[in-house]
């Protein structure tokens, strides 16, 4: 709750009218105060965005920024693909690079440093995954028939594509479906981004039917919900998908960088260090 309020206050720093700020924040507090225990931050933010538009008009468009980051990562695509392919375990390396791309998140951080982005990508191959979690993942992939891949951000999905390529090579029996956001929200990937980056040329891609920055099972489309329910495994990118799917009981493997202080504390990692973990390994307590 404090993170939600702080971010909204930051968004008002250029608003001159104190009366307008006060009226807007009163409605924000009402939304947060009326939240049910199962409501997640992405769901609440979607409601707050409606109020923001009422007071301040259409929200800032990330359309051009998304195109820019898609182009930047497409320019790096061949070099990263080569690094992954030349490694001893291309799937392992593909996960590391896909996870590093989760840094391109204007929702969690407000701004993205290009210097930090390339640093994370350049050093991705030196990072590690939990050995037990990775072993369980590869064992399950050997017999899985359906994999659903939940994306997060623009640009990042180029690295998701490279991981999916390796998964399809190593596990040719598996059918992969990618689910992106149903409508534009912050810089999250949509169908347009999947088309632009060639992801939709590789595998089937659908929108989830919402503009929530996550995968809220009770809000997404029936098509998306049915695909997720039928999946043998789910690969889930980003903090927002973790927030909306944690404790769902599904066989979800989360991949993301710890960008917010809550995640840093929750997982006991330094900022920008990565997580690869199955939902069922985490237990019920996420406090």
Question: Does the structure show a pLDDT above 80 at 224?
Answer: yes
pLDDT band at 8 (very low <50, low <70, confident <90, very high): confident
Position 228 scores a pLDDT of 98
Q: How far is CA 168 from CA 31, 95, 97, 132, in A?
A: 43, 13, 16, 22
Minimal CA–CA distance to 183: which of 162, 158, 209?
A: 209
Position 209 scores a pLDDT of 97
Supply the mean pLDDT for the chain.
92
Hey, is 168 helix, strand or coil?
helix
* Strands of the 274-278 sheet, one edge to the other: 205-207, 175-180, 146-150, 233-237, 252-257, 274-278
Question: Does the structure show a pLDDT above 70 at 215?
Answer: yes
Q: Which two tokens stand for residue 198?
A: 């060639």
Sequential DSSP letters for 219-241: TS-HHHHHHHHH-SEEEEESHHH
Q: pLDDT of 184-209, one tens digit each?
A: 999 999 999 999 999 999 999 999 99
Mean pLDDT of 263-275: 93
Mean pLDDT of 264-273: 93
Q: Which two tokens stand for residue 119?
A: 């640093």
d(CA 282, CA 20): 42
d(CA 133, CA 137): 6
Question: Does the structure show a pLDDT above 60 at 168?
Answer: yes
Mean pLDDT of 127-153: 97
What sign has the CA pseudo-torsion 165, 167, 170, 175? negative
Q: pLDDT of 36-46, one tens digit each?
A: 888 888 888 88
pLDDT band at 283 (very low <50, low <70, confident <90, very high): low
Residues for the chain: how many in total? 287
Q: How far is CA 67 from CA 76, 89, 151, 156, 240, in A?
A: 14, 31, 16, 12, 21
Element (H, E) at 255: strand 252-257
> pTM for the complete prediction?
0.90
Q: pLDDT of 70-112, one tens digit each?
A: 999 999 999 999 999 999 999 999 999 999 999 999 887 778 9
Q: How far is CA 256 from CA 38, 82, 97, 173, in A?
A: 22, 22, 11, 26
d(CA 6, CA 4): 6
């Amino acid at each position: 709750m404090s993170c939600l309020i702080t971010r909204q206050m930051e968004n008002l720093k250029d608003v001159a009218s104190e009366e307008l700020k006060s009226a807007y924040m009163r409605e924000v507090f009402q939304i947060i105060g009326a939240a049910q225990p199962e409501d997640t931050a992405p769901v609440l933010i979607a409601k707050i965005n409606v109020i923001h538009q009422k007071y301040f008009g259409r929200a800032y468009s990330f359309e051009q920024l998304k195109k820019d980051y898609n182009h930047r990562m497409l320019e790096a695509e061949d070099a990263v693909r080569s690094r992954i392919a030349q490694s001893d375990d291309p799937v392992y390396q593909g996960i590391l690079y896909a996870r590093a791309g989760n840094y391109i998140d204007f929702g969690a951080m407000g701004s993205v440093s290009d210097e930090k982005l390339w640093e994370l990508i350049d050093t991705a191959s030196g990072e590690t995954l939990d050995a037990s979690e990775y072993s369980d993942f590869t064992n399950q992939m050997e017999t899985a028939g359906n994999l659903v891949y939940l994306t997060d951000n623009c640009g990042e999905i180029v690295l998701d594509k490279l991981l999916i390529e390796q998964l399809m090579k190593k596990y040719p029996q598996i059918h992969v479906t990618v689910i992106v956001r149903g409508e534009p929200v912050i810089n999250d990937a949509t169908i347009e981004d999947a088309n632009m980056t060639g992801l939709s040329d590789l595998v089937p891609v659908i929108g989830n039917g919402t503009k929530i920055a996550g995968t809220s099972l009770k809000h997404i489309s029936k098509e998306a919900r049915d695909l997720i329910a039928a999946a043998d495994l789910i690969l889930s990118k980003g903090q927002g998908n973790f927030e909306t799917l944690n404790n769902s009981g599904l066989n979800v493997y989360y991949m993301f960088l710890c960008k917010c202080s809550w995640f840093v504390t929750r997982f006991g990692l330094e900022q920008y260090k990565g997580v690869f973990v199955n939902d069922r390994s985490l237990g019920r307590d996420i406090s």
